[in-house]
Structure 1
């Protein structure tokens, strides 16, 4: 009988309430908005839950209706929220997305002094990781508060001590901190992870302009067992010690909204690698596993660009397998 507190993945990070225009007008002229949930770590949590994995999400929320909405949405998606902190003295964050027909959306954050920005090392609990296999974090959380950088670092160290593998997506958000501070902190987290998930622009930001293969070599030398480098329209390339494999993109005809695509990529990749954790720990990951993980990651990342919202269109495992096999699930 499985223990009630088992989790395939634990993730730590801020979720916000997202408002976006109901129509096609810019924020300045729009008067009606839709409300949804957004946040890199909760996007990954929902994506993994829909793929059949047990996920535990850790964060801090206000005791306001927006915090209740975040809790209800995640619980409705099967995500374990029992360790979430509710802060009576700080609000739940919100942000607005300004869609552009000719470019990526502009986003406007209202997260300063939020409940999650007040996370500090003293709130970390060993039971966050009880019964868990893997810990996923991003570079967003360290940027949102005075002590959130050290909170994420100490959580990663504790997770490692408790035997969990760790993945880290730098998820660079230039609006949250200076380039110098971002580069320093993001580089410092790479040695603490087993799976590193940069995009090509993030690799360039961190290491300068290098050949793609050299990015893999340089990042692996910092400590991860596998580096999955996202190449946008060119697909992705996976690096393990002594090997690299490139997987072409999943083809789509048009893009609606790119926000959340990287989180969907992470969910797809992790959903495969979670079944090979012992091989991940030793660094002896078969090429066929890396290829399968990247194929699923590319597919989910591409599908995420086909709808407004960060996660709402994420497929269930049966749907995803049908899409990847060219046999979509019958709907009528």
Structure 2
């Protein structure tokens, strides 16, 4: 029986082994990627049981991803395979530090066919948390409906819902549609975890407190705003609020996956009954660890490594 459930599109990521334009790069390494898959892997490595709802193509990329999921200890009973659609993948550049460029090959992928039919009471039974992201909601109209169904059904079954907006403007027909859809999905969730830039775009508010208040007024129980190297700010419906400082790392290698790692820290902390302040602090630590690696999830730590980092790292 899973404690945590998430749903989304798993992808294969191809990473150049040298810096430079794609036309001049000849050697790539492959890895597993996808925001929700990153969260599932991270939570599993910290000792939690996770069920992943998704669809894969019946192809060699899908076979690879399914093996990764099993190796990471995920419950794949809700992962189906299709013969008429392919598994998505993407490329990202290798950069000296910071944000790489990404190029997606995901149109009409198997996971874009996710629909409300993939979210059933049986698949949610016994879990404590359902984690959603705005990426899945953006992939297709049926995926958005699946996310809406998941939120409603999870609340009906007594699960708490966490939501990371994780904006992907290129996947939406317009900015207006993106803002309306994601704010509608956020409404009534237990926890929402926007980045500060995302929060400003979605709410029109400039301050961390303003972003939080926007969602608290819409029935969210707690808002946690990621503020990059500054750490994070949270505010609850009960009025509790605090700024939790981030952790210092010597070198930022790649920022992809940092937000997912933050979600892992918060989600697992809440699952374990930690105070929200401590769960957010864990989220900061997970995000800091993640940006020291070029992969999307390979740096996600086990419990002992996480504890050691939190004890020894600078804030």
Which TM-score band applies after superposition, normalised by the shorter structure? Answer: over 0.9
- Give the whole-Å Cα distance in 2 for the aligned partners of 1:213 and 1:304: 26
The answer to whether the 8 A contact 1:26-1:99 is kept is no
Question: How many Å apart are 1:103 and its aligned residue?
Answer: 4.8
- Give the whole-Å Cα distance in 2 for the aligned partners of 1:238 and 1:28: 44
Residue ranges of structure 2 left out of the alignment (5+ in a row): none
Q: Could you list the per-position Cα deviations for residues 240-281 of structure 1 after superposition, in whole angstroms to 9, with x for gaps in the alignment?
A: 1212011111011221000000000000011111123xxxxx
Let me know the Cα RMSD of the aligned residues. 1.4
Residue of structure 1 in register with 2:117 after alignment: 122
Question: How many Å apart are 1:108 and its aligned residue?
Answer: 0.7
- Give the whole-Å Cα distance in 1 for the aligned partners of 2:229 and 2:309: 19
Q: Could you list the per-position Cα deviations for residues 120-146 of structure 1 after superposition, in whole angstroms to 9, with x for gaps in the alignment?
A: 223332211122111001000111113
- Give the whole-Å Cα distance in 2 for the aligned partners of 1:140 and 1:219: 19
Residue of structure 1 in register with 2:54 after alignment: 59
Runs (4+) off by over 6 Å = none
Residue of structure 2 in register with 1:39 after alignment: 34
Q: Secondary structure at the match of 2:22?
A: coil
- Give the whole-Å Cα distance in 1 for the aligned partners of 2:81 and 2:122: 17
Question: How many Å apart are 1:102 and its aligned residue?
Answer: 6.1
The answer to whether the 8 A contact 1:157-1:192 is kept is no
Instruction: Give the TM-score of the pair, scaled to structure 2.
Output: 0.96
Q: Secondary structure at the match of 2:198?
A: helix
Q: Could you list the per-position Cα deviations for residues 301-326 of structure 1 after superposition, in whole angstroms to 9, with x for gaps in the alignment?
A: 01100011111011101111111112
Residue of structure 1 in register with 2:79 after alignment: 84
Question: How many Å apart are 1:33 and its aligned residue?
Answer: 0.6
The answer to whether the 8 A contact 2:232-2:246 is kept is yes
Tell me which of 80, 88, 100 is aligned to 1:105: 100
The answer to whether the 8 A contact 2:17-2:94 is kept is no
The aligned length equals 311
Residue of structure 2 in register with 1:28 after alignment: 23
Answering whether residue 249 of structure 2 is matched by residue 252 of structure 1, we say yes
- Give the whole-Å Cα distance in 1 for the aligned partners of 2:47 and 2:195: 26
- Give the whole-Å Cα distance in 1 for the aligned partners of 2:155 and 2:195: 24
- Give the whole-Å Cα distance in 2 for the aligned partners of 1:292 and 1:243: 13
- Give the whole-Å Cα distance in 1 for the aligned partners of 2:21 and 2:190: 41
Instruction: Give the TM-score of the pair, scaled to structure 1.
Output: 0.91
The answer to whether the 8 A contact 2:115-2:146 is kept is yes
Q: Could you list the per-position Cα deviations for residues 148-167 of structure 1 after superposition, in whole angstroms to 9, with x for gaps in the alignment?
A: 11111012111111111110
Residue of structure 2 in register with 1:186 after alignment: 182
- Give the whole-Å Cα distance in 1 for the aligned partners of 2:124 and 2:228: 33
Answering whether residue 297 of structure 2 is matched by residue 311 of structure 1, we say yes
Tell me which of 186, 191, 197 is aligned to 1:195: 191
Question: How many Å apart are 1:74 and its aligned residue?
Answer: 1.1
- Give the whole-Å Cα distance in 2 for the aligned partners of 1:32 and 1:183: 39
Residue ranges of structure 1 left out of the alignment (5+ in a row): 1-5, 277-287, 328-332
